[in-house]
Structures are given as C-alpha cells and as structure tokens.
Amino acid sequence: MSGINDDIKLIDENGIRIDGRKADEMRPLKIEAGVLKRADGSAYLEWGKNKVIAAVYGPRECHPRHMQDPAKAIVQCRYNMMSFSVSDRKRPGPDRRSIEISKIISEALEYVVFTENFPRTSIDVYIEVLQANAGTRVAGLTAASAALADAGIPMKDLVPAVAVGKADGHVVLDLNKEEDNFGSADLPMAMIPRTGEVLLMQMDGHLTMEEFDKGIEYAKKACQEIYEIQKDALRRRYADQGGSDETDDEFSSIDEEA
C-alpha cells in the first residue's frame, strides 16, 4: 500500500469498484480440500485472482528437538510466494514480509488446534502462493485451516479470514491489488464466526472509529460466508472420496511406473 494516488479512480460515482463490485462485496471464492496425495491434509483456493495451495504434515516428532514443547504441539507455518506469482519476478526465498506472515498465521492456527493433545510434536503448514492479487495472507490462512481440518487434526473451529480497507474514501471489503496499492487503509482480519473470537488483526493506514466499525461489520459478514465455503469444501471432500481422484489415479499409475 503506497498511499493515496489522485490519478487512479478506484470507485465510480455509483459506488462501483474497478472490478465491478459493490463496497461490501467479496471476490468469488472457491476452495477444494484434499488436493495433494502426499500431504496429511491440503486445500487449494482461488479467491479473485489469487491462487493459493496449503499443505499440512503432522503432528510429527518435532525437529530440532530443542524446539519441542513437552506440554503441547507447536504449529510451524511457512508462507511463500512463488517467483512467478507477481508481475515482476519475486526473488525466491524468505524475506521480512513472508517471515511476518508465517508468524501471524502460525499464531492464529495454534490458537484453534488442540495442541495439548500432541506434546513434543510439530504440525507443519506450508502455504504456497501461486498467483497473488492482494489478500494473500488471509487467503493463505483460510486455505491452511481447511487443510488442517482435512488432515483430521482436532481443532476448535475453522479460521475464515478476509481484509477490509479504504479506497477513495469508502470502506471496502476484500481489497483487490489496485485498492491495496492505492487505497488508504488495509485491515486483514480472521474471526471464528461461532464465537466472535478475533485471531488476526493487522492495520496499515488510517480509519476513523466509524469506518473501523463499518469495516468490522463487513468482515464479520464475510467471515461467515467464507466459513460456509470452507465447510462445504470439507463436506465435498468426504462425500466424493471413493469415486473422486480420477486424475489423481492417472498420475499415481505414472508414479508407480517411474
């Protein structure tokens, strides 16, 4: 987010955003659970132009051992953006931003997992952003919590997440890239709809108290919507089991021959 840019009009006189959405409208979201055979749990997500995959391994013995907690499991998340996920090639490997995002996602997930059931273990969560268009941390967290559930890891609840912000003086839900770049506030958050618990909240820019309240209202409603999509993905995964994986089977026969 680089501040207000007067040359770019993000919202027209009818309150419609550059991608045709209303202020409180989310980009289309699709989630598919159980997309990877080798991982214990996985989920693939497309949210507007974002494409994200999450894979979960564990609980498994935590290495290095000095990181083990004798009382509970630790949740270690690695968020990574592929070099080809953004318009200019991104330098591969961790950077300040990805380390920060990995940390906040680990903390949000650690809150929902019943970590005390698995002492000395690690639950490893890998988030790969294949294509980025703003909101990848909330997309990553949304995919990762579905992947944890797909792995059968006992948890309090799923963690839907979404960003709200401000563009051209309007509070808007689920910022796209232009709104993220040229808008004046970005507020990603994650909330368990059932309990109202907030597991992630960051803020970049400025909002008045009224704008903040309106943003939270938008985010609350959206989290409920995202939560239903997450649950539906998991339901489909188990309803489909037996007959699904046609493509997978084709690939697995190649694997076996190799």
Contact characters 4-43, ligand ADP, x per CB under 6 A: ----------------------------------------
Smallest gap from Cβ 46 to ligand ADP, in A, equals 14
Which are the contacts of 10, defined by CB distance < 8 A and separation ≥ 6?
17, 18, 167, 168, 178, 179, 182, 183
Which three-class secondary structure state does DSSP give residue 108? helix
- Nearer to ligand ADP by Cβ, of 42 and 50: the residue is 50
Pick from 42, 80, 102, 133 the residue near ligand ADP by CB under 6 A: 133
The alpha carbon of residue 239 and the mean position of all alpha carbons in its chain are separated, in whole angstroms, by 24
Pick from 21, 177, 214, 237 the residue near ligand ADP by CB under 6 A: 177
164 binds ligand ADP (CB under 6 A): no
Alpha-carbon distance 217 to 239, whole Å? 33
The alpha carbon of residue 28 and the mean position of all alpha carbons in its chain are separated, in whole angstroms, by 14
Secondary structure percentages of the chain, helix, strand, coil, to 5: 35, 30, 35
Q: Which of the stretches 37-45, 127-135, 153-161, 190-198 binds ligand ADP when contact is defined by CB under 6 A? A: 127-135
Q: Interface residues for ligand ADP in 90-109 (CB under 6 A)?
A: 90, 97
- Nearer to ligand ADP by Cβ, of 3 and 64: the residue is 3
- From the list 22, 27, 18, the residue with the least C-alpha distance to 47 is 27
The residue ranges that bind ligand ADP (CB under 6 A) are 86, 88, 90, 97, 132-137, 177, 180, 186, 188
